[in-house]
Chain A
Amino acid sequence: MCRFVAYLGEPIVLDEMLFLPDSSIVEQSIHPQLLSAMNLAGFGVLAWDADSADAGRPWTYRTPGLPFFDRNLRSLSRKARATALIAHVRGVVFSDREVVDEGNVHPFRFDGVPTALAMNGDLEDFPSMRYDLLEHMRPELARQIEGTTDSEWLYALILSLVADPTAPADPNELADATMRALAIVREVRARRGLERQSAVNLVLSDGRCLVATRFAYDYGWYHEGWTFAGRERVNDFTTLWFAQGTGYACREGEWGVGAGRPESSIVIASEPLTHDRSRWLEVPEYAMLVSRPGRTPGEGLVTETLELDL
C-alpha cells in the first residue's frame, strides 16, 4: 500500500510538505501512522509553480530509491516552490514478483497531457483483468503505458474518457471520467469473478484543480490469508484525509492550514501530515473530493464532496 499527498493553493516551499511536518510524506515512507507496512518502492513528486516559465507544465522528480537518503531531493525541496503538487511514496508486497523501477513510480503523467495521477490502492489480480480495459482506452494513450502498475492503466483509462486529454482539465469532466472509469472496472471485475476487497484511492491534478477518491470495491471481503497488522485492521477502508483553509504554514509548531475566509489552500493526503490528527478531516468512504478555484477571487477555493454511488 502506498501513501500520497496533494496540494493546491498559495505558494509553498516543497520542504514544508515533503520533509518538515512530523509525519511528512517522506516520513510516511518508513513510519506511516495509519499503516503498518513501509513504503520503500520509490518516491515521486510532480509540482506546478504558477509563477514559473511554462506554468501549466509541472516539473517531475521520480526515483525508485529511498527519499530519506536522497540529498538531491532534500536540497531541491528547500528551494523549489509550488502552487500545486502531488507526491507519492510507493509501497508494494515484499515479493520478487513486484517490479520496483522508475517506470512504476507515481505520479504518472503522459507526454502532452496536463493531468497527472497517483494512487493509493491495489486492484485484486490485476494481471487477469488488465487487457479487458483496453477496449475502453484510446490507443494513443494505451501506447504510453510504460510500467506494470494498475495505477498507470487506470490513469490511461480515465484520460480516455475525457473529450480532450491534452487540454487543461475541466474539474467536472475529470470527476465524471473518474466515476465512469471506476464503473468500468466494477463491470470487468464482475465479469472476471473478482470479488475481494480492492482499494482505489486516487488523486488527479492539472495544477489548477484536484480530484481525489476514497473508494473500495467489495469492502469487507478480505483476501484469503490476508493477515492484518493492528493498524490496518482498524483502518481497513484505506484512509484519506484533507484540510482546507488559508495559507499552509507552521503555526505554533504545528503544520496546517490557517483560519479565515476565503479559503485558499487544500491539502489531501492518505493520512495527516501531523501526528495530531485533530485539525484534519477524514474524507467519507465511497466519496470523491473535487477542488477548484471559485469563479471570483473572493470565493477562494471551492471543494465539493460527491458520493461514489457505483
Chain B
Amino acid sequence: MSPESGDAAALLRAVPMLEGLPEEEIDNLVALSEPFAVDAGDILFEEGDAAEAVFIIASGEIESLKRLPGDRALSAARLGPGTAFGEIAMIAGVPRVATARAVTATAGVALDARAVQQLVAGSRPGARELVYRVGQEALRLLRAIVERTAQELDLDQRATQPMRAIKPAGGELVQVEPTPDEDAYLSTILFFNRFSPAQLHELFGGLRRLAAPRGTELVAEGERLDALLFVLRGAVESTVHHGRAAARMRLSGPGRIVTHLGALDDGPCPYDCRARERVLLLEAPRERLLAIRERDDAAWRLFRHGLYQDVVDAIVHADRPLTRMAAAGDGLTTSAG
C-alpha cells in the first residue's frame, strides 16, 4: 500500500530524526515525497550508485549490505518501519556506501535527493537543524560500526592480529606556530581547499597548531574530548581495542579529521588515536564548533559540508575491518542475492 500525502506527513513526523522540527519543514518534505513500493529481494540501490533519493519505510524491512568478493555480503543493518535511510550519502554528496535490499515487500516514501539538498541549503533555522540532525545520525552510525567491530574482534583473531597499532613511543604534543606558507599549503589539501584565505582566517585563525613525533598517543580510548583535531601534515591512526585484539578504523592523512566521536557527539572517544607518522595538527575547541548548529554564512556552510563528507569517509573506512573479517570467515556473511 502506498501512503497518501496525509499518511506521508504522519510517517515523516514519526521519524525520530525529524521529531520536533518546525511544521514548515515537515510540510516542505511532504511536498517532495513520492510513494515507493518494492517486492522482497528487490534492490533499491547498489553500493557506489549516486545518492538520488532518501527513503522512509512505512511497512516492510530493508537490509543494508556491504558486498564482498565471491558474491557474498555482510549484513550491516536491518531497517524497519519509521526508519529513514540514504540520507547520509545525500547530505554529504557522496555515492552510496552500501547496497539496500528489501527483505520483505516494503513500502514508504522517497524524497528526491537534489530537491532535499536545495531545501536544506536555505537559510531557515529549520533547514540548518535538519542538516545538523543528519550529521548526528552519521555520527551515530560511525559509533555503531566502531562498537560492532570491537564486539566482533574477539571472534576473529585471524583478521585482527595484523591490524594492531604501532608500538607506543614516548612522544609529546607541543604547540607550534603556523608557518608563513600555511595558507598556500592549506589550499592544496582536502577539506581546507574549499575555503578562501579570508574564510580560513575566520574559521581557523587563532587556533592552536600542535606537533607530535611518530608514535605519540594523542587521545586514549574512553577519553572525553573537548576539541576536533584536523590533520595538516602526517597521519593519525584510530584504533579500536577489545581484549587483546585491535583493528585500525581509519588512517587520517592531511585534511582529515581525527576526533569526530567524542568532540561532536555526546559519548567518549571509542578508539585511541596515535600519530602514525610525525604529525602537525590544528585544534578546534568544542566551543568554536557550537557555531556549526547556529551560523549560516558561507564559510560555516562549507565547514558543515566538509565535516559531513569527512564523517562519511570515516564511515567508509571504519567498515573495512568488518568486511575483511566477513570475507575471511563465514560467520558474518550472507548471500548477496
Contacts and interface: CB of A to CB of B under 8 A. Distances in A.
A281 B69 contact: yes
Interface in B295-337: 320, 323-324, 327
Contact of A284 (B66, B69, B320): B320
A222 interface: yes
B62 interface: no
Contact of B277 (A219, A226, A244, A245): A219
Interface stretch (A49-57, A163-171, A251-259): A251-259
Contacts of B234: 218-221
Contact of A307 (B71, B163, B189, B327): B163
Interface stretch (B197-205, B247-255, B259-267): B247-255
Interface string B53-90: 00000000000001111111000000000000000000
A11 to B, nearest CB: 18
B99 interface: yes
B69 A221 contact: no
B274 interface: no
B337 to A, nearest CB: 12
B48 interface: yes
B320 A282 contact: yes
B327 A281 contact: yes
Contact of A221 (B47, B162, B277, B320): B277
Contacts of A183: none
A111 interface: no
B271 to A, nearest CB: 15
Contacts of B101: none
A220 B162 contact: no
A244 B327 contact: yes
A257 to B, nearest CB: 5
A219 B162 contact: no
A243 B324 CA distance: 10
B69 A257 contact: yes
Contact of A276 (B48, B253, B323, B324): B48
A309 B162 CA distance: 10
A305 B324 CA distance: 10
Contact of B71 (A244, A259, A282): A259
A63 to B, nearest CB: 31
Contacts of A282: 320
Interface stretch (A88-96, A115-123, A231-239): A231-239
Interface string A286-310: 1100000000000000001111010
Interface residues of A, number: 39
A279 B163 contact: no
Contacts of A227: 188
Interface in A163-199: none
A256 to B, nearest CB: 6
A277 interface: yes
A29 to B, nearest CB: 23
Given A220-B231, A220-B254, A285-B251, A258 B162 contact: no
Given A219-B235, A219-B276, A233 B190 contact: yes
B137 interface: no
A151 interface: no
B176 interface: no
B158 to A, nearest CB: 8
B99 A278 contact: yes
Contact of B163 (A226, A256, A284): A284
B69 A256 contact: yes
B48 A218 contact: no
A232 B324 CA distance: 24
Contacts of A287: 162-163
A245 B46 CA distance: 22
Interface string B272-283: 000011110000
B167 interface: yes
B140 interface: no
Nearest to B255: A233
A77 to B, nearest CB: 23
Lowest 3 A-B CB distances belong to which pairs? A245-B70, A278-B67, A243-B69
28 contacts: A220-B254, A220-B277, A221-B233, A222-B188, A222-B233, A222-B254, A233-B255, A236-B254, A237-B235, A237-B251, A243-B69, A243-B70, A244-B70, A245-B69, A258-B70, A259-B72, A278-B46, A278-B47, A278-B99, A281-B69, A281-B323, A281-B324, A285-B248, A285-B251, A286-B166, A287-B162, A287-B163, A305-B162
Interface of B: 46-48, 66-72, 99, 159, 162-164, 166-167, 188-190, 193, 231, 233-235, 248, 251, 253-255, 276-279, 320, 323-324, 327
Interface of A: 218-222, 226-228, 233-234, 236-237, 243-246, 251, 256-260, 263, 276-282, 284-287, 304-307, 309
Given A218-B278, A226-B188, A276-B48, 11 more contacts: A220-B235, A220-B254, A221-B234, A245-B69, A256-B69, A257-B70, A259-B72, A281-B327, A284-B324, A285-B248, A286-B166
